[in-house]
Structure formats: C-alpha cells, structure tokens
C-alpha cells in the first residue's frame, strides 16, 4: 500500500517539476521576445534624435520612453560610450557589456540576464536598487542603413521570477493535496477490497471451529460477492449435513434403544416376578425374540446406509431380467398379502433386462411391495407393472391403501421419516426402507417418484436405464 502511495507521489512530483519547467521556459521566452521587440522599437524611435545629435530631444525622449516602459534606457555610440542614460549616471562612460559588444560587432540584437543582488545588477536598473534579477537587451540604432549606435534597455525580471515562484508553490500545494487525496482514496479502496476477504477469513475460521451458522455479507456482483455467496452456499450445505448427521445419530440411537428397553422390561419381569407359568414365560421369550429380530433389522439397514454413505458399498453389476426379479419378489410377498386380505396383481412386460446388482434391486422392489401391503387395509389391491419406454424400464408399485399426505410426500425418502409414527411402530417400520430404496435406485442411474392421494392409494414409479 505504502509502496503504491510512494510511486504515485514520485510520479506526481516528476509531472509537477516538468510542468513548472515548461511553464517557466514559456514565460521566459515570452518575456524575452516581448522586451527584445520593445528594445528594437525604442532603437527605431530614438534613432532620429541620436542621428541629429539633438542631445536635449534625445534626453527627453529617453526619459519619457523609460517612464512608459518602466525600464532604464541608455544610448551608446559606436565606441560603447553612453550618450544618454535615463538616470544620467553613466553618461560619458564606456559600457562594455558582452551584449553591447555583440551588437557592435554586427551580431544583431542581444540580451542577457543578471542575477544575485551582490553583483550590483539591481543598481544597474535603478541606482541603489537591490533585486534578484534583471534583463539587459541591446539593439542596434540604425541611421541611413548603417549602424549609428547601440540601444540598451534594462528591465526588471523579478515579476517573471515571482510568478514562477507563485506557480511553483501552487503546484507544490496541489501535490500535497493530491497525495493526501490519493492516500485517503487508496486507504478506502484497499479497505473496500480487503473487507470481503477478512469477512471470508472470519467465516472460515468460524467454520474450522465446527460452527456452520456463520454467513458472509454479499454485496454487489463482483468476484468477491460471488465467492462470498458460494461460501454461504457451502455453509448451508455443511450446516444441513451437520444437522442431518446429528439427527441421524439421535434417530439411530432411539431406534436401537426402543427394542433394548422393551427387552429389559420383559427380562426384568421374567427374573423378578415369581412364580410365572410356562405359557407366560414362552410368550415373554417370544416377545424378546421379536425385539431381537427388529434390532437386527435396524442394524442391517443402518449398516447398509453407512456403507452407501462412505462409498464403500460394493455393487455387483450384471445383466439381469427385471421381469424375473419382479415376478419372484411378488411371489415371495404373496403369502403376506393373502394373510392381510390384499389382492396382488401384475402386468409385467416380458424380457426386460437391466444392468444392475440383482440383490440390491430385489431389495428395492421388496421394500416397495412390503410398504404397499403394509399401508393398505384388508380388501385393498396391490398392482405391479413393468413397461418399456424410451430406452427406460418403468416399474410401478400401485396400491389402494391409506395414501400419503401431500406435505409428507417430499420427506418419505428421508432417513427415519414416517408419516404416522404410532402406526409405523405398530407395523414394525423404522423409516429407513425408502431412503435405502432411493439410494440404490440412484446408484443404478435411475430415479424414483411417488404420486399419492390420501385414502385412495399410492403409486411408486422406478425408472431404470434399459441395457444396451
Ligand atoms: N405405499 C405406501 N402407502 C402409504 N404410506 C407409505 C407407503 N410407503 C411408504 N409410506 C410412508 O412412508 C414412510 C416411510 O417409508 P419407509 O419404507 O421408509 O419406512 P417404514 O415402512 O416405516 O419402515 P421400514 O424401514 O421398515 O421400511 C412410512 O412410514 C409410511 O408412513
Ligand atoms: Mg418400508
């Protein structure tokens, strides 16, 4: 930051310095040409009284010209001897200045500048005057086309010097002002750029501490804003993952704890209650056995999900007949349906093959059919359909059961989600079945959807890519 500021200041100084130089040179050349012209005009005006050797007229002309121009005028003859002087100081003395010599030698007009008060230059303009700078102009006085003398015109160069000084101080003032403005602006600009970065750093360190609730403010459409909104999206995702992870753990422990507590009560009754007849004991042991089965089921489902989550699930892909798979699963579940008074029917297309892991895909349709039977009352119907459509195999499990309320339909594929908690417990469900189903279908490059109406029934549609 400081380096940039320094560079800007140096650049500005260089520009200012060269500008001062340029302005100075311009003013100088302007003044020189003006005054040189004036000296030439004076030489013409004074040539007549000088040539006529009219001393009185020459003096009065010299004095009035001095008054109107504000400079000192001297008229010299061809030997450099002063014939007339504004202040009559040099009359009769030879003024051998280099400019005079130059004119006398036929070099045309000449000028020179004299600085420093010590040189006595000031008094050269006005006796006793102490100034910093004077200009001396010499021009030939012509008479009848030949040089008759030299005109010396001395002016004060102080005004030019002062205006240059004035410009210089003004420019230095501007330099300081601009440098200050640049410093403030760059501070502001750098803050503008570093603020979002420091916000991001704060958000990230918050995240590193395991707190995903922090969000970064998004302003505008710059790259930083995009970065911030991507970061926020990442936070959303991580937060929801974190939430679902802890929800999963608490749900899982709840599901494991319930059969364990039931078993504990049953066992305590068996151990401490005396005397108990054999029939009662058998009933209790049978209940314990059921709870163990349930525990086993939950643990198996959990293990399946965990292995799918970690990506360690091994899939054994091969070409298999979906037609056979559906028929076989239906056959396995037929007794259960009969027992529940449910009529099962099928409209399964022949010879439909897909590339799949048959074990896992069978599990999918088993779960769907099991649900259809579980959530359909006595006298209901469950229909299995399989059709081919646009390089896809479309399988449907249709029931005339209790249906799923609209607001629950988007959640039924979530882990542990059950529409009617009490009823599901009664039917032995854990709410893991459909989430496993969905994961397996996605693993096969397929999709699963549900359409359902309360009290009318549900249809689960599984789409799988056909082989080849
Ligand atoms: N065919 C259906 N008809 C009505 N509701 C259903 C149907 N299939 C699923 N559901 C609802 O969706 C919920 C989730 O189903 P899911 O199969 O995941 O769990 P579950 O059947 O309760 O338990 P399990 O893990 O033993 O399968 C069920 O609890 C039930 O409320
Ligand atoms: Mg189920």
Residue 255 CB–ligand 1 contact under 6 Å: no
- Residue that has been written with the tokens 């400079």 in this structure: 71
User: Is the distance from CB of 141 to CB of 45 less than 8 angstroms?
Assistant: no
For the residues of 344-383, what is the DSSP string, one character each? Answer: EEEEE-TT-EEEE-HHHHHHHHHHHHHHHHHTS-TT-EEE
pLDDT in tens, 35-71: 999 999 999 999 989 888 888 899 999 999 999 988 8
pLDDT at 207: 85
Residue 133 CB–ligand 1 contact under 6 Å: no
| Pair 50, 69 in one domain | yes
Whether the model clears a pTM of 0.75, i.e. scores above it, the answer is no
SS3 106: coil
351 assigned to some structural domain: yes
How remote is the CA of residue 105 from the centroid of ligand 2, in Å? 123
| Pair 295, 384 in one domain | no
- The closest residue, in CA terms, to atom 13 on ligand 1 is 418
| Pair 370, 296 in one domain | no
Residue 253 has pLDDT above 70, yes or no: yes
| Pair 290, 373 in one domain | no
User: Is the distance from CB of 139 to CB of 109 less than 8 angstroms?
Assistant: yes
Q: Which residue has the higher pLDDT, 216 or 402?
A: 402
| CATH number of the structural domain spanning residue 421 | 3.30.565.10
211 assigned to some structural domain: no
Residue 462 CB–ligand 1 contact under 6 Å: no
| CATH number of the structural domain spanning residue 111 | 3.30.450.20
210 assigned to some structural domain: no
Residue 429 CB–ligand 1 contact under 6 Å: yes
User: For residue 81, what are the domain limits?
Assistant: 2-168
For the residues of 307-320, what is the DSSP string, one character each? Answer: HHHTT------EEE
SS3 140: strand
Confidence of residue 450 (pLDDT cuts 50, 70, 90): very high
The radius of gyration computed from the CA coordinates of the chain, to the nearest angstrom, equals 55
Q: Let me know if 26 is exposed, middle or buried by CB neighbors in 10 A (0-12, 13-18, 19+).
A: exposed
Return the half-sphere exposure (C-beta side, CA atoms, 13 A cut-off) of residue 135: 22
352 assigned to some structural domain: yes
Q: Among 309, 335, 368, give the residue marking a domain's end.
A: 309
| Pair 228, 350 in one domain | no
| Pair 423, 451 in one domain | yes
| Pair 303, 334 in one domain | no
| Pair 301, 422 in one domain | no
209 assigned to some structural domain: no
User: Is the distance from CB of 284 to CB of 269 less than 8 angstroms?
Assistant: yes
Calpha distance 353→302 (Å, rounded): 30
Residue from 468, 397, 406, 379 nearest 433 by CA: 397
Name the domain count of the chain: 3
413 assigned to some structural domain: yes
pLDDT in tens, 119-160: 555 566 666 555 667 888 999 999 888 899 999 998 887 777
159 assigned to some structural domain: yes
Residue 458 CB–ligand 1 contact under 6 Å: yes
Calpha distance 431→255 (Å, rounded): 10
| Pair 149, 70 in one domain | yes
pLDDT at 330: 96
187 assigned to some structural domain: no
Q: Going by C-beta distance under 8 Å and a sequence separation of 6 or more, which residues neighbour residue 78?
A: 104, 147, 148, 149, 150
Total residues belonging to the chain:
468
Q: Let me know if 440 is exposed, middle or buried by CB neighbors in 10 A (0-12, 13-18, 19+).
A: buried
pLDDT in tens, 4-34: 777 877 887 788 788 878 887 888 888 889 9
| Pair 297, 339 in one domain | no
Q: Among 261, 287, 309, give the residue marking a domain's end.
A: 309
How remote is the CA of residue 433 from the centroid of ligand 2, in Å? 4
| Pair 390, 275 in one domain | no
Around ion ligand 2, residues with a beta carbon closer than 5 Å are 371, 433
Residue 285 has pLDDT above 70, yes or no: yes
| Pair 301, 323 in one domain | no
Crossing angle of helices 278-309 and 223-272, rounded to 10°: 160
């Amino acid at each position: 930051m400081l380096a940039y500021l320094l560079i800007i200041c140096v650049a500005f100084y260089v520009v200012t310095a060269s500008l001062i130089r340029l302005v100075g040179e311009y003013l100088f050349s302007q003044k020189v040409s003006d005054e040189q012209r004036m000296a030439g005009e004076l030489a013409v005006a004074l040539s007549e009284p000088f040539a006529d050797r009219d001393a009185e007229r020459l003096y009065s002309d010299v004095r009035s010209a001095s008054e109107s121009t504000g400079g000192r005028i001297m008229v010299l003859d061809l030997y450099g001897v002063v014939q007339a002087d504004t202040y009559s100081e040099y009359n009769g003395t030879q003024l051998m200045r280099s400019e005079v010599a130059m004119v006398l030698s036929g070099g045309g007009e000449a000028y020179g500048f004299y600085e420093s008060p010590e040189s006595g230059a000031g008094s050269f303009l006005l006796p006793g005057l102490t100034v910093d700078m004077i200009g001396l102009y010499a021009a030939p006085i012509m008479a009848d086309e030949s040089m008759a003398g030299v005109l010396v015109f001395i002016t004060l160069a102080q005004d030019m010097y002062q205006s240059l000084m004035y410009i210089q101080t003004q420019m230095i003032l501007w330099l300081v002002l601009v440098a200050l403005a640049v410093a403030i602006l760059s501070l502001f600009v750098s803050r503008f750029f570093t603020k979002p970065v420091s916000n991001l750093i704060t958000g990230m360190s918050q995240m590193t501490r395991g707190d995903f609730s922090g969000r970064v403010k998004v302003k505008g459409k710059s790259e930083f804003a995009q970065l911030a909104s991507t970061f926020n999206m990442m936070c959303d995702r991580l937060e929801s993952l974190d939430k679902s992870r802890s929800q999963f753990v608490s749900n899982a422990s709840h599901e494991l704890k319930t059969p364990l507590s039931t078993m504990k009560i049953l066992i305590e009754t068996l151990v401490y209650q005396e005397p108990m007849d054999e029939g009662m004991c058998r009933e209790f042991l049978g209940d314990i056995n059921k709870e163990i089965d349930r525990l086993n089921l939950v643990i198996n489902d959990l293990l399946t999900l965990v292995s799918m989550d970690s990506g360690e699930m091994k899939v054994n892909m091969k070409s298999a007949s979906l037609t056979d798979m559906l028929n076989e699963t239906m056959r396995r579940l037929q007794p259960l349906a009969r027992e529940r008074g449910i009529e099962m029917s099928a409209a399964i297309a022949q010879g439909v093959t897909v590339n799949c892991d048959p074990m896992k895909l069978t599990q999918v349709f088993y779960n769907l059919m099991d649900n259809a039977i579980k959530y359909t009352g006595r006298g209901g119907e469950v229909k299995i359909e399989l059709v081919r459509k646009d390089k896809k195999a479309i399988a449907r499990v249709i029931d005339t059961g209790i249906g799923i309320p609209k607001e629950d339909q988007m959640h039924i594929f979530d882990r542990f989600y059950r529409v009617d908690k009490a009823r599901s417990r009664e039917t032995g469900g854990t709410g893991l079945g459909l989430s496993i189903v969905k994961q397996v279908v996605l693993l096969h490059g397929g999709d699963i959807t549900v359409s359902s109406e309360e009290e009318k029934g549900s249809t689960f549609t599984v789409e799988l890519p056909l082989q080849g």
